[in-house]
Chain A
Amino acid sequence: MSKSSPFQQLLLRYRRGAVLVGLLLASSIMILFNGTPGVSRPQEIGLAVFSFFQGTVSQTLHWFGQSADSVSSFADLKSRYDQASDRLKKYEGNERELVLLRLENQRLKSQLDFHASLSYFNVAAEVIGKDPTRVYSSMVINKGYLDGIRIDQPVVANQNGVPGLVGKIARVSLASAIVQPVLDANLFISARMENSRNEGLISGKGSNEEVLVMNFVKKRAAADIFAGDLVVTSGLESIYPAELLIGRVRGVSSKEYETSLNIEVEPVVDFAKLEYLYVLRMQS
């Protein structure tokens, strides 16, 4: 039996601690080198693989949801069947289907109108996954590099006829991408009040509170800003086009010792209901 050195014996004795130190060190190095070009490559590959499974599960859930809806619709129709003749019931069933198709048609038409109304070339995408953690609020979409999606492209959505900024592309794989929403506390967007034209910097507060904060607006602008005022992108950055709707002012506050206002902004986009997004290809 070979005799191990005192260092090896020490490592063996405290191997749990040694492994922990090694793992924490590896994690720390990865965090420190985050953003370095070589580091993001495994992330892109991993995302491509994972988003494939996400898309499959998402579609399966969608199918189950539709089946459940169909079952409940069927139960509703059944009570009607008891009261009317077979022939009438058949027509009622057809008519119901027609109404559903018409509603779906209207919904898709409004998305198509929005798609066509955008002055930038854009790519429509579907949300197939959301962040598993509470701190980050990113979303995975089913379009990626092959569809012309690139990092930093702005993402918008149309809800109830109101177009609004969702965020920007943070990471891209071949057939999927991650959207960093405006709710993210790490995303800063140059914005201005639509009426008074005062400029500021808008950012999120985290994933749970759907409230944004606009900072660096001069105190003297307080008299021009009211609850309900619209906030739009200023276009001063190269990423976002100007005049994209971000949200509405919810409240204005300021501390005596500060020179700027603290404006709470409610986003126009309801992030809990996002299904379809549009990625703007600014360079086109």
Chain B
Amino acid sequence: MIRAGLWAILILAVLLLLQTTLMNLVVVAGVKPDILLIVFVVLASQNGGLVSQLVGFVLGLAIDIVTTAPLGYNAFQFALAGYLFGLGRGKVYYDPFIVPALMAVLATVYSSICGYLVSQVFQLGFPFQMYFQIGFVVQLLVNLVAAPVTFFLFNFLKQRFQDPRRGFDG
């Protein structure tokens, strides 16, 4: 379990770095694919809730550090996402296209709803339109298209680097 968590943190740390640099080159209508969120929900549904909520908390804190978001804002969202998407462990079977795309859509919708609710509960002052404007639809479509590609690359790397005895997920 610890091994799976450490692997997930390492993968997501690299992805966070790529999300803030490389992905700036892949912007569609002002929106970049959220590969970090996509891979996080895939990992969460494979690793289960306990590991994923801890990993989500650490990842969220890292995002809070590199953005102007209040410390704890993303940590809250990702910890909860880890728990919720971790409930799918053993129940979600990934095909190459549809399930990754569906997970990406669910994660994007979750991210906006949760972000809005956290903003309201803690009175961060962000309006409803900010989470559900036209950019939300574009983000949904971009993530929908990016999910199968990301999932394919993720699986490719996983098969290439995983430990044959212990496995990538511990």
Contacts and interface: CB of A to CB of B under 8 A. Distances in A.
Nearest to A45: B65
Contacts of B18: 57
Contacts, number: 166
A268 B34 CA distance: 27
A134 B54 contact: no
Given A140-B20, A208-B134, A272-B30, A34 B71 contact: yes
Given A23-B54, A208-B30, A135 B72 contact: no
Nearest to A55: B21
Interface residues of A, number: 53
A208 B133 contact: yes
B147 interface: no
Contact of B36 (A32, A57, A132): A132
Given A61-B22, A186-B126, A205-B130, A30 B67 contact: no
A16 interface: yes
A260 B117 CA distance: 29
A230 B82 CA distance: 47
Interface string B60-104: 101111111111111110011001000000000000000000000
Given A16-B49, A31-B70, A134-B139, A206 B20 contact: no
Given A32-B122, A132-B20, A135-B115, A20 B53 contact: yes
A246 interface: no
Contacts of A35: 70
Interface residues of B, number: 56
Contacts of A24: 76, 79-80
Contacts of A29: 72
A262 interface: no
Contacts of B133: 205-206, 208-209
Nearest to B142: A134
Interface string A4-23: 00000000000110011001
Contacts of B134: 208-209
B89 to A, nearest CB: 11
B67 A178 contact: yes
Given A16-B49, A136-B69, A178-B68, A131 B20 contact: yes
- Of the candidates A131, A170, A178, the one having the most CB atoms from chain B within 10 angstroms of its own CB is A131
- Of the candidates A15, A20, A185, A205, the one having the most CB atoms from chain B within 10 angstroms of its own CB is A20
Interface in A120-156: 128-136, 138, 140
B72 to A, nearest CB: 3
Contact of B68 (A28, A128, A136): A136
A210 interface: yes
A164 to B, nearest CB: 18
Interface in B31-59: 31, 34, 36, 49-50, 53-54, 57
Given A24-B79, A43-B64, A132-B66, 19 more contacts: A19-B54, A20-B49, A20-B53, A26-B57, A27-B60, A50-B66, A57-B17, A131-B68, A132-B20, A133-B69, A134-B136, A134-B139, A138-B68, A140-B20, A180-B68, A205-B127, A206-B129, A206-B130, A208-B31
The 9 closest A-B pairs by CB, nearest first: A208-B135, A30-B72, A27-B76, A46-B65, A34-B70, A206-B130, A31-B72, A132-B19, A27-B72
Interface of A: 15-16, 19-20, 23-24, 26-32, 34-35, 39-40, 42-43, 46-47, 50-51, 53-54, 57-58, 61, 128-136, 138, 140, 170-171, 178, 180, 184-186, 205-210, 272
